[in-house]
Each structure stands twice: as structure tokens, then as C-alpha cells.
Structure 1
Amino acid sequence: GLGGQISLIHDDLKNMPERLGHNKYDVVTCNPPYFKTPKEAEQNMNEHLRIARHEILCTLEDVISVSSKLLKQGGKAALVHRPGRLLEIFELMKAYRIEPKRVQFIYPKQGK
């Protein structure tokens, strides 16, 4: 029953600035693929899981670049990602004029 409040767009992430407009949004939230493209033998057989988990159709740089284009000055980008790529995330954010100000680490289970 949220059809009047939410609209879904089925399109390539890289098309979003042209489709939605530049510098228009206060917040961009994304859960991008976590892993760089694996070798053929290491890829998940399920195409949907492979695309969701690995940088096959978009890269971390694509996500940060598009976020930068969509955000207003002072806007916030919220990414869900693995700590192993934190330095890369910070470097790309700096390159695309997004300054990280806050990091929240989430643990998969209590006691981890």
C-alpha cells in the first residue's frame, strides 16, 4: 500500500543523474556490491547473487561518483559496505567531493 509514496526505477545506476537530476537530493543510500569481480571459477552460479555481491554491473567508484552527482552541497551519502574496503571508500569519496564524517560499524551477531 505504499505505491503513492514510493516509485521504483528499474535502470542502470549510471543513468540516474541524467534521469533524476544533478545536485537535487539531501540523502543517497546504497548497498552496493561488496566484492571486486572474482575469477570465473570463484563466481556464484546464481546470476542474481553474483551481480548483487560482485562488481559486475557497477563498481564502488560508480556508486560514489553517481552519489556525488545526485547530492546537494552538504548532502549525505549512506553506504552499507565491508570494513575491508574502508580505505578505498574514503579515497573514492575524497576524489568525488564527498567528505566522510561518520562511520558506524555493524557486527553480524552479538559478541562478534
Structure 2
Amino acid sequence: MLARRLGRKDITALELQPHLFSLAERDVYLNRCEREVSLVHGDLRRVGMQFAAGSFAHVLCNPPYRTRASGRSSVSMEKAIARHELACELQDVVRAAEHLLVPRGTLFMVYPASRFGELTSVLRVHRMEPRTVRWVHPLADRPAKLVLLHAVKTLRDPLIARRRRWRRRQRCWCSKELQAMGWDERHQEGEGDAAGEKSEK
């Protein structure tokens, strides 16, 4: 998606689960992005063994939303690992980003709005400063379910809360950022995982 929609030619994708890694390989092949996308089968908790420190200018991730103890876990282990912090926790994700990024490199995350306070605290422990945030609402009159966050390594500038820019699209209100991510009316409440089906990294 990034290679096609944003025209990036230097993407490295890390995936833990074997089946999802195979699906990613198939997607890269079908979209003819072999030159633009490199796939790595590995564990983000051990990125230091696969990538040198400061190897990337940008990191984009969609980590598990739920803690081990929250909600009902899927009977499918693949889905359970994708949705719950079974194979990695928030601190592992941020620690990996700190290792991978160059100074002033950028981290982009989508995360539950209910865990925003926890997210900012963990980021600052690892020298990652939140720079901009945008709240994602399932409908215009409903509380935010998700937050799109942009953080910068070793940056101390003040946080900027972006004004919402909504566009009516059937029953769902979608900003330009969400449309770029492939967001549509299926991601309203009641479908997917916490207002959006999880997709590993």
C-alpha cells in the first residue's frame, strides 16, 4: 500500500508470523513491488540482531491494541497475537523504533485513543517525543476510537493537535489520512477489531 499510494521505493517490512509473512510476500508479488519492498521475517523485540542502530528515517507500525488481560482473546492464535500483546508489548514496539530511527527520525502509529496517555508516557521514556496527533472518530458525534500519532526521536518541540478534517462518505466520516490508509464505511463500529480490523505491520 505504501509503495503504491505514496510512491515509496525503499520500504522494509518486518513480520513475525509465518502465515502473515507469506501473505505479505504474495501481496508484494501481485502488486509488482519486489524492487520497492523488502520483507524480513523476524521479531521486533530482537531488531538489534537484524538491523543496525539508526538504519531508518521513518518507522510506521500498527501494533496490537489490547493488553493481555483486556477483552476476549480470539481462538485463532494468529489473530490473538495480532490483536493482543501476546508476542510484544507497547514498550517493545517503542524500544524497537528508538533503535531503528536516526536522530530526529519519525515514528507513525495508529493506537487506541483510550491508551493515549500510556502511549505518550512510554514514548518519552525512550526519547520519543509526540509531535502531532489526530483523533479518529467512527462517526462525527461519537468519541474517538483511535489516534494517529507522529512522534520524533530526541525532539523537544511542543505537541500539535491537528484540527479534524472530515468528509462525509456514506455513514462514515473519513479524513484524507484515513482514506489514504484504505479506510471506508466497513470500519464503523461493530465491524473489524475495535473499529478497525488489525493488520500486522
TM-score (norm. length: structure 2):
0.52
Structure 1 residue 16: Cα displacement: 1.8
TM-superposed CA distance for 1:111, in Å, is 4.6
1:105 partner letter? W
Given the alignment, which residue of 81, 90, 115 partners 1:60? Answer: 90
What is the rounded CA distance, in whole Å, between the counterparts of 1:18 and 1:97 in structure 2? 21
Task: Please tell me whether residue 78 in structure 1 is matched to residue 104 in structure 2.
Answer: no
Return the letter of the residue paired with 2:38. S
User: Where does residue 193 of structure 2 map in the other structure?
Assistant: none
- 1:61 maps to a residue whose letter is Q
- Structure 1 residue 38, shift from structure 2 partner: 2.6
SS at match of 1:21: coil
1:4: Cα distance to partner? 1.2
Amino acid across the alignment from 2:91: E
Task: Please give the residue correspondences for 1:93-112 in structure 2 after superposition, counting only pairs within 5 Å.
Answer: 93-109=123-139, 111-112=141-142
Could you list the runs of 5+ residues in structure 1 that have no partner in the other structure? Answer: none
Distance in 2 (CA, whole Å) between partners of 1:82 and 1:49 is 17
C-alpha deviation, 1:85, in angstroms: 0.7
Residue 18 of structure 1 deviates from its aligned partner by 2.7
Higher relative contact order (CA 8 A, sep 6+): 1
Matches of 2:132 and 2:139, distance apart in 1? 22
Larger Rg: 2
Query: Which residue among 63, 77, 89 is the counterpart of 1:47?
Result: 77
- The whole-number CA distance in structure 1 between the counterparts of 2:80 and 2:45 is 19
Which residue identity is paired with 2:50? R
Aligned residue for 1:24? Answer: 55
Pick the structure with more strand per residue. Answer: 2
- CA deviation profile, 1:65-111 (whole Å, cap 9, x unmatched): 11011111101111110011111111111000001111111223455
How many equivalent residue pairs?
111
Q: Aligned AA for 1:21?
A: A
If each structure's helix is expressed as a fraction of its own residues, which one has the higher value?
1
Percent sequence identity over aligned pairs: 28
**Helix, strand or coil: the match of 2:136?**
coil
1:5 is matched with 36
Letter in 1 for 2:104: G
Q: Distance in 1 between matches of 2:55 and 2:48?
A: 9
